[in-house]
Amino acid sequence: MNKRRRVLVQGRFWKTGLVAMVLVLISCGALGPGPDGEVALETARPAEQSPTAVPTEAPATATPSPTEAPPTATPSPTDVRPTATPSPTDVPPTATPSPTTAPSPVPTESARLQAVTSAEDVQRVDAAAARELVETGQGMLYDTRSTNSYASLHAAGAVSFAESEAAGRLGELPTDRALIFY
Amino acid sequence: VALRVISQGFVAQNVYVLKGGLAAWQSAGYAVTSGETP
């Protein structure tokens, strides 16, 4: 009987002590409602749990950070290599089709002029331009009419080059200047 | 003659035909003469 009373009395003291503690905390503002109520609770909890919880939680929070860092560092090199290796493999395919599209010969001006096949395709020059070429020494004037026609009248400075004699006199023509025929 | 010259290997870029012939040369006032080839 005495033990039961002691337990009950001790329980009543424990309850009253607990209520008193709560009232003290409320009066201090640690548990009271207010604008800073949530912050006060967060700051108060570590203070209450510091004797038991801090030693266990502190190492727990410190260890994960070093363990998480390596996993992020290791995947990065593996991800970079796959992206670097495909590039050399992609280059050859792009280089091979280019030769197929490359052969597109563009006719040059000289090639076009060499393709002259009729008298109408031969370049024409007027009298003024022909005279300038002759006077500057850049061209020679040739009279392709008969020798008799040439003897009767011809342009000053012109050389007789009769069509009937042309085949055997091609070697006389200079190759370093313009040849003007009339 | 010009076409034959070109066909014999002369560069077509250097071969010309006088537009209008001797008549155009003479009408342009440029000198003409007679006689044999010098």
Mean pLDDT over A143-147 rounds to: 94
A180 vs B18, B30, B37: nearest CB: B18
| Minimal CA separation from A110 to chain B, in Å | 7
The ipTM (two decimal places) reads 0.92
pLDDT band at A2 (very low <50, low <70, confident <90, very high): low
DSSP state of A93: H
pLDDT band at A18 (very low <50, low <70, confident <90, very high): confident
**Given strand B15-18, what is the order of strands in its sheet?**
A123-125, B15-18, A178-181, A139-143, A159-160
Query: DSSP letters of A139-179?
Result: EEEEE-S-HHHHHH-EETT-EE--GGGGGG-GGGS-SSSEE
Per-residue pLDDT tens over the stretch B1-38: 888 888 888 888 999 999 999 999 999 999 999 987 66
Question: What pLDDT sits at residue B37?
Answer: 66
Helix-strand-coil split of chain A, %, nearest 5 = 65, 10, 25
Structure tokens at A119: 């008298």
Establish if A108 touches chain B: CB-CB under 8 angstroms: no
Nearest C-alpha in A relative to B9: A114
* Block residue for tokens 């089709």: A97
Residue in B22, B32, B33 to test binding to A, most A beta-carbons within 10 Å: B22
